[in-house]
């Protein structure tokens, strides 16, 4: 980040903020280039028009991630946490937590499957040797919550 000073020798904070924003823009552009492999249908599931009423902007984080993942599943596409981050602008830890919530019956009881993405190295490999893999995720509709309860009761009753 370039630090500039004004005529009095004081740090020009507007220049620092602008330079920082430029760095962030470069990072976003680099990430956007990786989204080319994701089908347009999946990218459209998170698109919104600023200033226009859109029910999608009123959805919860979990609902948005669910909709993106279901759209990806319809296209036979697996998504990494980084790709989900680029699509939704949510943090990877939050996305991971929401994927765990989607497994719960009260949030749909989805089957969340993960696998290693072959031939890809992580953006920030761990120094301890862990995290050397890139994981990709896909969800499938699980047993509906009402059916899951009926099935559990049948097992308990010995039917």
The closest of 106, 97, 105, 110 to 67, measured between CA atoms, is 110
The reported pLDDT for the residue numbered 50 is: 66
Number of structural domains the chain divides into:
2
The reported pLDDT for the residue numbered 56 is: 56
The reported pLDDT for the residue numbered 86 is: 93
The reported pLDDT for the residue numbered 41 is: 79
Regarding whether 84 and 9 lie in a shared domain, the answer is: no
Regarding whether 91 and 27 lie in a shared domain, the answer is: no
Rg of the chain's alpha carbons, rounded to an integer? 21
CA distance 58 to 81: 22
0.95 cut: is pTM over it? no
The reported pLDDT for the residue numbered 65 is: 96
Which two tokens mark 109? 């009881």
Instruction: Tell me how crowded residue 63 is: count the other CB atoms within 10 A of its CB.
Output: 15
Which two tokens mark 30? 């680099």
What residue numbers bound the domain in which 5 lies? 1-37
By the 10 Å C-beta count (0-12 exposed, 13-18 middle, 19+ buried), 137 is classed as: buried
Regarding whether 57 and 29 lie in a shared domain, the answer is: no
> 79-80 and 135-140 as β-strands: parallel, antiparallel, unpaired?
antiparallel
Asked, for residue 62, whether it belongs to a domain, the answer is yes
Asked, for residue 126, whether it belongs to a domain, the answer is no
Q: What is the pLDDT along the chain (159 residues), one digit of tens a residue?
A: 444 444 445 444 443 333 333 333 333 334 544 677 888 878 877 766 666 666 656 789 999 999 999 999 999 999 999 999 999 999 999 999 999 999 999 999 999 999 999 887 776 666 666 667 889 999 998 765 455 455 544 444 554
Regarding whether 112 and 78 lie in a shared domain, the answer is: yes
Does the CA dihedral 80-85-87-88 come out positive or negative?
Answer: positive
């Amino acid at each position: 980040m370039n630090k500039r000073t004004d005529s009095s020798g004081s740090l020009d904070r507007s220049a620092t903020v602008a330079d920082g924003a430029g760095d962030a823009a470069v990072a976003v552009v680099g990430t956007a280039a990786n989204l080319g492999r994701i089908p347009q249908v999946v990218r459209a599931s998170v698109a919104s028009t600023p200033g226009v009423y859109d029910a999608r902007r009123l959805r919860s984080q979990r609902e948005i991630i669910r909709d993106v993942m279901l759209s990806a599943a319809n296209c036979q596409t697996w998504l990494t946490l980084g790709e989900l981050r680029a699509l939704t602008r949510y943090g990877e830890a939050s996305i991971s937590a929401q994927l765990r919530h989607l497994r719960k019956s009260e949030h749909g009881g989805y089957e969340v499957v993960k696998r290693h993405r072959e031939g890809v190295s992580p953006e920030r490999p761990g120094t301890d040797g862990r995290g050397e893999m890139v994981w990709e995720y896909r969800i499938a509709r699980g047993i509906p919550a009402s059916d899951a309860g009926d099935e559990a009761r049948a097992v308990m009753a010995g039917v």
